[in-house]
Amino acid sequence: MEHPIISVHVPKVGGTSFLQHIKREYGEHNVLLDYSDDPVDVRCRMNIDPDYYRRHPIVSIAPYCVVHGHFHAGKYEHMEHARRITFLRHPVDNVLSIYRYWTVHDESAFAGPVFKYFKMSNLSIEALAMLPKIRFLYSETYFGGIDMTRFHFVGDYSKYDRELMRLGAVLGVNFSVDVRVNVTRAFPGGDRIYTPDAKTRTALEKILAQDIRFYEQHAGR
């Protein structure tokens, strides 16, 4: 493939649904899943040794044509001619979705220390949002130090169907809007587990101000 695709799946921003689109269009055998280097996990390589991929650059994902998963965008920054894509969701809505999702799972489903700390400490939504890996999920955890103009597409999740069509034009494919997987709703309660009042939402907006600025600057570009 002349232009491999690097697809950064930020947690709870439609990446599970989007993966089905990718598999349908490019073939499952052509998609490399990279979920073992999640930067939310303090044990991931990018957190322990941020300079590693400069010393050992990844320059190809052959024989695959797409890599999709939870990884810092800098992991594949040395791949030339790649098309870089991602979706962003308003940070308050994203943290709410993470909170709901983590609430309905037990520790057996996750190995990450941030998740385990959340469960062990029984954190409130505000306390979860204050954790640095969550508070700066976009601006530092996933895209810290990255020139976002290198991305060919940064979708706005609030307009997912329309953005999917826009992405199709960028990639030269015709994505169908009939694929939608909401993992949270697959569990009892789903998004009904917690809905914040106006005071709590205002508090979250203050906590997440840096990521909100990031979202407003880049989503939909």
Neighbour-count burial for 23-33, b at 16+ CB within 10 Å, e otherwise: bebbeeebbee
110: tokens are: 């996750």
pLDDT for residue 109? 57
Neighbour-count burial for 176-212, b at 16+ CB within 10 Å, e otherwise: eeeeeeeebeeeeeeeeeeebeeebeebbeebbeebb
For every one of its 221 residues, what pLDDT tens digit does the chain have, with 9 covering 90 and above? 579 999 999 999 988 889 999 999 999 999 999 999 999 999 999 999 999 999 999 999 999 999 999 999 999 999 999 999 999 999 999 999 999 999 988 876 566 899 999 999 999 999 999 999 999 999 999 999 999 999 999 999 999 999 999 999 999 998 876 655 554 444 444 445 578 889 999 999 999 999 999 999 999 98
The pTM of the full predicted model, rounded to 2 decimals, is: 0.90
pLDDT for residue 108? 65
Residues ≥6 apart with Cβ < 8 Å to 66: 4, 5, 7, 22, 26, 30, 31, 32
Q: How far apart are CA 120 and CA 113, in angstroms?
A: 10
Whether the CB-CB separation of 109 and 209 falls below 8 Å is answered with: no
155: tokens are: 């979708």
Q: How far apart are CA 80 and CA 62, in angstroms?
A: 13
Q: 46: burial class by Cβ within 10 Å (0-12, 13-18, 19+)?
A: buried
Residue 158 φ then ψ, to 5°:
-65, -15
One-letter amino acid of 39: P
Q: How far apart are CA 215 and CA 221, in angstroms?
A: 10
Residue 216 φ then ψ, to 5°:
-65, -30
**What are the structural domains, with CATH classification, of the chain?**
5-218 (3.40.50)
pLDDT for residue 125? 96
Q: How far apart are CA 14 and CA 98, in angstroms?
A: 12
Whether the CB-CB separation of 68 and 34 falls below 8 Å is answered with: yes
pLDDT for residue 196? 84
> Which element (helix H / strand E) includes 84?
strand 83-88
pLDDT for residue 55? 97
